[in-house]
Amino acid sequence: MKTSSISPNFYYSQNQKKQIAPTFTGLTNNRVFKKIESVVIDGCVKLVSTDAAKKLVTGTSNHKKLTEKLTSHLIVLGSTILSGFYIVKTLNNKNLDEDKRKTLAVNQGLVYAASTAMAYTFDGWARKNFNKLFVKFEQANVGADKVQMAKWKSGFGIARTIIIVDSVYRFIAPVIVTPFANYIGNKLQENKAK
């Protein structure tokens, strides 16, 4: 009896599944998503078109100290609102023991305060060094369009602030401050118990 030999390559090529290139459409073809997107866009346009928004923009544009650090101030404002909600929600959480609620609220308050101080401090240091570094960047790109260079400086500055402030609020301060805040909160509860 004679057996035929089939090469492994023949088997592989005959039994290999056909691969189809994936398409990444996400929610862009979704009618519900498009409706939500339209409502949000229309709402933002209406909000920005109000007289109050126009007065706010024209009124604050004269204050250089406010406008040059606007990105930092807006991130801190958002974090202030969120931290306030977290603290109130924690204090009103009936599923936690009263002592735990207070300790956690102290923790959240201290993390917020330290985050704000550290964010402004680190952003100030980076702002000073950024201008020095950008001068070197300009010197290395002498032939570049001045308008384009100004756009890069503005974009890099905004990115720098977002990265620094968000890193401080979401990672650096919570990791550093939480153990101390828990200690302080626990000490306050112990003193109250005595």
The residue with greater pLDDT, 143 or 72, is 72
Q: How far is CA 71 from CA 39, 64, 74, 88, 137, in A?
A: 26, 13, 5, 26, 23
**Among the listed residues 85, 110, 79, 117, the one whose alpha carbon sits nearest the alpha carbon of residue 186:** 110
Confidence of residue 27 (pLDDT cuts 50, 70, 90): low
Quickly state the pLDDT bin for 36 (edges 50, 70, 90): confident
Place of tokens 């606007």: 70
- For residue 126, the Cα-to-chain-centroid distance in whole angstroms is 18
**pLDDT for res 25:** 62
The pLDDT, as a whole number, for residue 31 is 80
Q: Average of pLDDT values for 38-48?
A: 88
Whole-number pLDDT of residue 21? 66
- The pLDDT value recorded for residue 89 is 92
Its pTM stands at 0.64
pLDDT band at 23 (very low <50, low <70, confident <90, very high): low
Which residues contact residue 126 at a Cβ distance below 8 angstroms, ignoring those fewer than 6 apart? 160, 161, 164
Residue 157 — φ and ψ, nearest 5°? Answer: -65, -45
- Between CA 117 and CA 160 the distance in angstroms is 17
Residues 97-147: pLDDT tens digits? 887 888 888 888 988 999 999 999 999 999 888 888 888 888 888 777 777
Please state the φ and ψ torsions of residue 16, each to the nearest 5 degrees: -75, 135
Give the span between the Cα atoms of 140 and 152, in whole angstroms: 14
Q: What is the mean pLDDT of residues 44-67?
A: 84
Q: What is the mean pLDDT of residues 49-75?
A: 84
Half-sphere exposure of 177 (CA within 13 A, CB side): 21
What pLDDT, in 10s, does the model give residues 84-104? 999 999 999 888 888 788 888
Cβ–Cβ < 8 Å for 115, 173 = yes
Please report, for the chain, the start and end positions of each structural domain, with discontinuous segments joined by +: 25-62, 64-193
The answer to whether 87 touches 107, Cβ cutoff 8 Å, is: no
